[in-house]
Structure 1
Amino acid sequence: MSKIRRIRDFQHSFSFSSQQEQFGAFFDRFLESDLGKIYGAVPWEDTVTALGLKEAKKGPRAIFSPRGKVALMFLKHYSGCSDRKLVEGLNGNLDWQFFCGIYIGTDRLDNFKIVSEIRSELAGKLDIGDLQKALYGHWSPHMEGRNAVTMDATCYESHMRYPTNVKLLWECTDWLHRLLKKVCREKRTAMPRSRYLKWKRRYVSYSKMKRKTKKKRRALTRALLLLTEKFSLELDGMEKEHGLSFTADQYVRRAAAKKAREQQDALFHKGVRPVGRIVSLDRPYVRPIVRGKEKKPVEFGAKVHKFQLDGIGFIEHLSFDAFHEGIRFRKTVLDVQGLTRTKVKIAGGDAIYATNRNRRFATGNGIRTDFKRKGRAGKHEKQRKKLAGAITKERASRLEGSFGNDKEHYGPGRIRARTKATEILWIFFGIHTANALEIGRRMAVERLQRAA
């Protein structure tokens, strides 16, 4: 390796075009980095095929190839940058350009929205099962103990404000008022009379209060319920009268506002707890997930059930609705056997999986678990305890540790995507970027061992 020097000492003689002249040397240095290890671990052709991506035959040539689009998603989660900073970094980082299969040179990418456009395109084509099969097929030679599985569930939270009933009703009221105002301006009709401005001032005053009394909350809730209903009915009437057509997003939001108003009205007047509760007008698909944790009893986002093979995690089930992971034990074991083509001999899960049904299934299929024993001790109790302790340690350290690793370093901690499909894609690439780096490091160690 040549000595590192300061550019200002020789800037008049240094040629940046040498990047092209010494491509091989730069590329070899790239492969030695962690990003290069991810590059070597991802089965690019199989991934592109599983996503159904192809080069466009008509129109201008895209900046990113199908392979480059997938690489950009891995790079997004590896770097942890926003879309804008990702594009800025791509302009000046040669390793990032190698990873995405482009060379920018003296040009610059200015449109940072290209990242969200690619994310939306891939989200519409994502099939988690097919893509995970392609990844596992490439990674399996570097994995051991494929007949031992651990499983657990976690919540990957959406990036949204903490929802309260008053906040939600105000969002509905404010958005419907702005939409009604826009329609009246376009149709040159008078805006219907309402007490919107009065309750806007009261809402602002209420939101600034440190101690929000029940009396003020009830008065504000009652008024916002009436305003939301009034604006919704006015829009329905104008739509029929003038034959209005709204955008798809506006129809979705209007339906969400109506449903949220119905749920809150039943809760306020009758005390009926809503089923499929809407907590955000922006993301009507998000539901409250009760986790029972001390610091976060309720989380808002997607609940994901994962299983792990030799430290590599895969998604078994993903839903924005709450579900009981304990009933997914049998399905997970069958999915693992279908993926690995080997019989599962060891399965680990926390106490929520230790149901009688799961115990019978495990016993009938000769699967050893770390479930707490029921009844009298058997002949080999000492060995059983030792195995159960090893399974529990594997689950509690590697599997649960991977949840925090994914959330802290690869993006799924607070998901900033704006649609259901792109949130799912965000979670998928966040999890598998961590997996690809782990596999890439294993491959590097294996190469060194072969060389020695």
Structure 2
Amino acid sequence: MLDSMAKSSKNRASKQNYVSQDQLGIEGFESPFSRKLNPKNRWVVLSRNIPWDILVSTYNSALGNSKTGAASINARVAIGSVIIKHICDLSDRETVQQIQENMYMQFFLGYSSFTDEPPFDPSLFVEFRKRLGVEQINKINELILGLGSEGYHAKSSTQDRAGVVKKETLPKQDGGEVVTHFGKMITDATACPQDIAYPTDLNLLNDAREKSQLLIDTLYKKVLHKKKPRTDRKKARKEYLQTAQKKVKSKKAIHNAVKKQLAYLRRNISSIHKLWDSYQKIPLDRNEYKYLLVIQTLYDQQKQMFDRGEHSVDNRIVSIHQPHVRPIVRGKTNAKTEFGAKIQATVMNGYTFLDELSWEAFNEGTCLISSVEKYKVRFGFYPEYVLADKIYCTRANRKVLKDLSITLRAKPLGRPKAVDEKHVSPGERNPIEGKFGQAKTAYGLNRIKARLQATSQSWIASIILVLNLVKLAGEALLCHVVLVTYSARQMKFEPWLRNRQPQLKLAA
């Protein structure tokens, strides 16, 4: 029945005759605005499954201007715009334009009627991301799924809207007590690459040198300084391009080019400090001062690696514009090293939760027990099973899980046995790998375009939120299809039952 409905819903392409653009005017175009909105539209379905009142109060609590200051933009518009942006994987400007043109998106944002005015300036997305930090978005994620302390019981008091089983619905033991372990937790980690150029020592030193030259231009004043410091911009740029533009670069050529750029950068930093001494207060603004600190740190790191002949250093800077980004060694075939944040997520019943987010590379095995404890805080009970990769299965983690009466579905230690029920099957951890693939392919988790540390973290958490919203909307739509199918079958069965009722009585 569902297959026949799916086939019948497909529409063929329009067979209208071509009309020249000179003959078709906007005044004669027939608009559907006299019709009602389609209740099966994804934005309509999604808007009904989000507890907006709770989300708005969470957003407004982060502002802190309830008594003073100008009124802020409608919180539902702010939160909904972020959701639309990541579901459709759009830029900030394109998101505003889509909202301006789409009546369903405006209904999702709580508009009472269609308007062709833009909701806000696209630059405000930066402020939205600053206000919606990781903690706020994680809280919103749990509130939407009905897991927060405030709860969301619009439909049922025994089961939340996401289908995640609550503690009061757990099967009872013989003594009548609620079981303390339920569900299956799948956990894994992945990297979220930032949208930066691939970092090389030569390119980083060239970027730092060019930025130091701009700082010299800012600090130099004829009234305070007699002669402008020497920078040799053209010569340094020419020497950089001689090596950078080669298709094949030898180690010797790279070594000599890095040595020259280090010398230019060292002289520029020294000139900056000499110019600085002529001022009584800090002559740079906040952004310029941050660049100066980053450039000095970058020079120290590059000088240390150059002198020692190494290619690694603690807290290595890979971008002067985003100094918080760190290299994450993953060991993948296509990208052995990625540059961005590293996250650890867990999946329960197909819903994803962000447990850890760090810009430094961390060992996933050290975070397994904390994820299990977060699972208990989130749901009110421990998982019955834990599915994890080999790196999580240390002896210490195995011992803690055993003490908590949690079964670890992973490869056991020692020689493999002929038959082992606890051995994890190859495809049992596929759900979380699929979630990572969906987030990276469809929603842009493989290219975080935010530039600030706080906004990048908000970007990542918003994508995790979108994963759950898409599943939530899909389940709501599936329930609607099943209900329609069941009603249609009943409508067909009842007339037949009425016609057959006399015969059934005679047969009885």
Aligned to 2:492: none
More moved, 284-293 vs 81-90:
81-90
Aligned to 1:177: 213
2:192 to 140, 156, 160: 156
Q: Tell me: CA distance 1:242–1:308, structure 2 relative to 1, closer, same or farther (3 Å).
A: same
Deviations 1:305-364 (A, max 9, x none): 000001111100000100000121111111101100122111000111111111112222
Aligned to 1:318: 357
Q: Distance in 2 between matches of 1:224 and 1:240?
A: 25
Q: Distance in 2 between matches of 1:53 and 1:45?
A: 15
Residue 235 of structure 2 is aligned to residue 198 of structure 1? yes
Residue 163 of structure 2 is aligned to residue 143 of structure 1? yes
1:43 to 22, 42, 51: 51
1:268-279 alignment runs, 5 A limit: 268-271=306-309, 273-279=312-318
More moved, 295-304 vs 200-209:
200-209
Structure 1 gaps, min length 5 = none
Q: Distance in 2 between matches of 1:304 and 1:67?
A: 28
Letter in 2 for 1:356: R
Residue 103 of structure 2 is aligned to residue 69 of structure 1? no
Residue 130 of structure 2 is aligned to residue 120 of structure 1? yes
Q: Distance in 2 between matches of 1:376 and 1:221?
A: 51
Q: Distance in 1 between matches of 2:214 and 2:196?
A: 21
Q: CA deviation at 1:222?
A: 1.4
Letter in 2 for 1:156: C
Aligned to 2:174: none
1:41-440 alignment runs, 5 A limit: 41-51=49-59, 52=61, 62=72, 64-102=73-111, 105-108=115-118, 111-123=121-133, 126-137=135-146, 138=152, 140-144=160-164, 147-184=183-220, 189=225, 190-243=227-280, 244-271=282-309, 273-375=312-414, 381-385=419-423, 388-389=424-425, 392-395=426-429, 397-440=430-473
Deviations 1:83-131 (A, max 9, x none): 12222222211112122234562434683323333333434x8535533
Q: Tell me: CA distance 1:376–1:406, structure 2 relative to 1, closer, same or farther (3 Å).
A: closer
Q: Distance in 1 between matches of 2:449 and 2:198?
A: 15
Deviations 1:275-315 (A, max 9, x none): 11111101101100000111111000010000000111110
The alignment yields a C-alpha RMSD, in angstroms, of: 3.0
Letter in 1 for 2:436: F
Q: Distance in 2 between matches of 1:276 and 1:327?
A: 20
CA contact (8 A) 2:78 2:128 kept: yes
Deviations 1:30-83 (A, max 9, x none): x42233333233322222333325686777655x41111000100000111111
More moved, 263-272 vs 428-437:
263-272
% identical aligned pairs = 23
Letter in 2 for 1:143: G
Q: Distance in 2 between matches of 1:218 and 1:417?
A: 33
Q: Helix, strand or coil: the match of 2:132?
A: helix
Q: CA deviation at 1:226?
A: 1.9
Q: CA deviation at 1:381?
A: 4.2
Q: Distance in 1 between matches of 2:460 and 2:222?
A: 41
* TM-score calculated relative to the size of structure 1: 0.87
| Higher relative helix content | 1
Structure 2 gaps, min length 5 = 1-8, 147-151, 153-158, 166-181, 487-508
Q: CA deviation at 1:419?
A: 0.1
Q: CA deviation at 1:187?
A: 5.5
Q: CA deviation at 1:432?
A: 1.2
More moved, 191-200 vs 276-285:
191-200
Q: Tell me: CA distance 1:362–1:106, structure 2 relative to 1, closer, same or farther (3 Å).
A: closer
Q: Distance in 2 between matches of 1:294 and 1:376?
A: 29
Letter in 1 for 2:478: V
Q: Distance in 2 between matches of 1:155 and 1:421?
A: 17
Q: Distance in 2 between matches of 1:144 and 1:110?
A: 36
Higher relative contact order (CA 8 A, sep 6+): 1
Q: CA deviation at 1:228?
A: 1.6
Q: Tell me: CA distance 1:104–1:58, structure 2 relative to 1, closer, same or farther (3 Å).
A: farther
Q: CA deviation at 1:215?
A: 2.4
* TM-score calculated relative to the size of structure 2: 0.78
The total of aligned residue pairs comes to 436
Q: CA deviation at 1:405?
A: 0.4
More moved, 318-327 vs 219-228:
219-228
Q: Distance in 2 between matches of 1:362 and 1:258?
A: 46
Bigger radius of gyration, 1 or 2? 2
Q: Helix, strand or coil: the match of 1:406?
A: helix
More moved, 273-282 vs 233-242:
233-242
Letter in 1 for 2:200: T
Q: Distance in 1 between matches of 2:320 and 2:415?
A: 54
